[in-house]
A and B are shown apart, each in its own frame.
Chain A
């Protein structure tokens, strides 16, 4: 695997050929975060300073996972600081030619990214817009399953209540659309559930809410074709969900912490139907 840091203007960019163990770990890291699909055709922008990372996958990964050999990871596309911290941690345990220089450069880029983050405007309660949320600001509440798993609330608070962060002692599971008069049709389809959630107050990503509607929550909808729907909600480091009357959790059906609802193990909920924003005023029950 060839890893190139797109950082210089005149000089040749620093590049390393990394051993298979790092290739595999870096591939898992990139794949688990959904970057492979999202950035398969991304271009690194032309400007001064650190611009991004270019990865040329080794043939065994290209053949096995049917991915394009070249992947561009522009710095704006996701949090590179996290990626480089992971890289630094992996490289520490692997010896290869040029390791010292590689680690020095990784540390340098971490410092640059940290300085850039420190000099950016002070963080507000809102998260910066991300590719999933479009241009709109949204808030991420810490993952805190305990109140949801209280026996007084657990049986009837379903994925919809969890996504909207509306915990209450419901008589039965709240349904999209019921609060505003028209319950979602059966069998539930992605467009029908989205439309019902919109009637209850949700917006498509890209259709922003004012600050007065904070916390504006980023949620994701999936469908079990012909049978059921399910929602996930974004937290700072993961996605949380609550399958029906079971416990709220941040792991998927394989027990893996959910970092991307598009690619996590969702059992029979095979259709992904995109992201939405749910405001403070979202209604889930009449």
Chain B
């Protein structure tokens, strides 16, 4: 084999290694990009409206989440551990769930529903579930409506959340 051939072989080897390295790099980045929505399901929230699913006949109480509370809402949401368990729908009379609907700048309309220790995030037809240990996320979200709910309803709902499951 001539020196030229050996040089060309060496150059080809370099090209192949470069291609493999680039492929690995893109693959890793791609996997990271795909995993990112699960790690941080939403990046920002605006115009958050909270709804208490509690009534049968009358409209359910709703209230806007104060701007100052949006950051805390996202912090609490991001702090939840993901869960593979699909929660059972609780659909009896009385308090059922509290949910927050808002716009994410990049992901469109998002609905976050908290009920019985599980938080479910609905986004563009996809569902993600998170564990809400001791129902603290659910309780916090209900309490943001303190100024919009009657004392009796607030007492009833927080009492229901406090009950052992």
The interface of chain A, by Cβ under 8 A from chain B, is 158-160, 172-173, 175-176, 186, 188, 193, 224, 226-231, 241-247, 249, 253, 266-269
Contact = CB atoms under 8 A, between A and B. Distances in A.
27 contacts: A158-B57, A173-B57, A173-B58, A175-B58, A176-B57, A193-B57, A226-B152, A227-B58, A227-B150, A228-B54, A228-B55, A228-B57, A229-B57, A230-B57, A243-B92, A244-B55, A244-B57, A244-B60, A246-B89, A247-B89, A253-B92, A253-B94, A267-B93, A267-B94, A268-B93, A268-B94, A268-B156
B148 to A, nearest CB: 14
Given A253-B94, A268-B94, A269-B93, A243 B56 contact: yes
B10 interface: no
Contacts of B150: 226-227
B96 interface: yes
B56 A247 contact: no
A227 B53 contact: no
B152 A229 contact: no
A243 B58 contact: no
Interface residues of B, number: 18
B56 A229 contact: yes
B56 to A, nearest CB: 4
A242 B56 CA distance: 8
Q: Is the interface of A mostly helix, strand, loop or mixed?
A: loop
Contact of B55 (A227, A231, A249): A227
A160 B55 CA distance: 12
The 9 lowest CB-CB distance pairs between A and B, nearest first, are: A246-B91, A267-B93, A267-B94, A230-B56, A229-B57, A253-B92, A228-B55, A243-B56, A244-B56
Given A227-B153, A229-B56, A231-B57, A247 B94 contact: no
Contacts of B53: 244-245
A118 to B, nearest CB: 41
Contact of B93 (A160, A186, A230): A230
B59 interface: yes
A25 to B, nearest CB: 27
B93 A243 contact: yes
